[in-house]
Amino acid sequence: MGVRAHSDALVAQLQERIADQVGPHRYKVWFKGSTEFALADGFVSVSVPNQFVGGWIEKHFIDVIRDTASGVAGRPLDVAFTIDPALSKLVRKKQPDSQVDYATNNPERLARAQKKLGTPPPESIPKRAFHDFVVGSSNRLAYTGAISVAEQPSSQYNPLFIHGGCGVGKTHLLQAVCNRIKELHPDKTYRYISGEDFTNQYVFAIKTREVESFRHRYRNVDVLVIDDVHFFSNKRGTQEEFLHTFNAIDVAGKQLVMASDAHPKMIAQLSESLATRFISGMVVKIDAPDRQTRVEVLRRRAAKMNCDVPEPVVEYIAEHCRANIRELEGALYKLVALANVTKKPISLSLAVQGLQDLIQRTTSIVRLSDIESVVAIYFGLSPADLHTSRKSRTIALARGIAMYLARKNTDMSFPEIGRFMGNKNHSTVLLAARRIAKLEAEDGIARWVTPTGDREKSIRAVLSELEEQLGQPSVP
- Note the pLDDT tens digit of each residue in 337-352: 888 878 888 999 999 8
pLDDT above 90: residue 11: no
What span, in angstroms and rounded, lies between the C-alpha atoms of 57 and 45? 13
What span, in angstroms and rounded, lies between the C-alpha atoms of 30 and 167? 20
AA letter at 270: L
Choose among 438, 475, 473: nearest CA to 459.
438
What span, in angstroms and rounded, lies between the C-alpha atoms of 34 and 56? 12
pLDDT above 50: residue 129: yes
Choose among 37, 28, 83: nearest CA to 372.
83
Q: Would you state the pLDDT for residue 53?
A: 76
Average pLDDT over residues 258-277: 87
In terms of C-beta density within 10 A (0-12 exposed, 13-18 middle, 19 or more buried), how is residue 420 classed? buried
pLDDT above 60: residue 20: yes
Rounding to the nearest 10 degrees, give the CA dihedral for residues 121, 72, 57, 298.
120
Q: Would you state the pLDDT for residue 293?
A: 93
Of residues 99 and 200, more confidently modeled: 200
The answer to which of 138-147, 256-265, 364-373 has the lowest mean pLDDT is 364-373
pLDDT cut 70: percent of the chain above it = 85
Report the CATH architecture of 111-286. 3-Layer(aba) Sandwich (3.40)
Q: What sign for the dihedral angle of Cα 420, 424, 430, 434?
A: negative
Q: pLDDT class for 117, splitting at 50, 70, 90?
A: very low
- Note the pLDDT tens digit of each residue in 282-337: 999 998 899 999 999 999 988 888 888 999 999 999 988 887 888 888 888 888 88
- Note the pLDDT tens digit of each residue in 382-419: 777 887 777 888 999 999 999 999 888 887 888 888 87
Q: Where are the domains of the chain?
A: 111-286, 362-470
The pTM (predicted TM-score) of the whole model is 0.69
Q: Would you state the pLDDT for residue 475?
A: 42
Choose among 65, 64, 56: nearest CA to 104.
56
Q: Would you state the pLDDT for residue 118?
A: 43
Are 365 and 349 spatial neighbours (Cβ–Cβ below 8 Å)? no
Of residues 474 and 206, more confidently modeled: 206
What span, in angstroms and rounded, lies between the C-alpha atoms of 174 and 128? 8
What span, in angstroms and rounded, lies between the C-alpha atoms of 34 and 37? 10
Q: Would you state the pLDDT for residue 238?
A: 92
> What DSSP string runs through 374-440?
HHHHHTT--HHHHHSS---HHHHHHHHHHHHHHHHHS---HHHHHHHTTS--HHHHHHHHHHHHHHH
Mean pLDDT over each residue of the chain, to the nearest integer: 82
For 362-470, CATH gives: 1.10.1750.10
pLDDT cut 90: percent of the chain above it = 36
pLDDT above 80: residue 141: yes
What span, in angstroms and rounded, lies between the C-alpha atoms of 198 and 229? 9
Of residues 213 and 115, more confidently modeled: 213
Cis peptide before 159 (omega within 30 of 0): yes
Name 193's bridge partners: 226
Element (H, E) at 283: strand 282-286
Average pLDDT over residues 353-372: 70
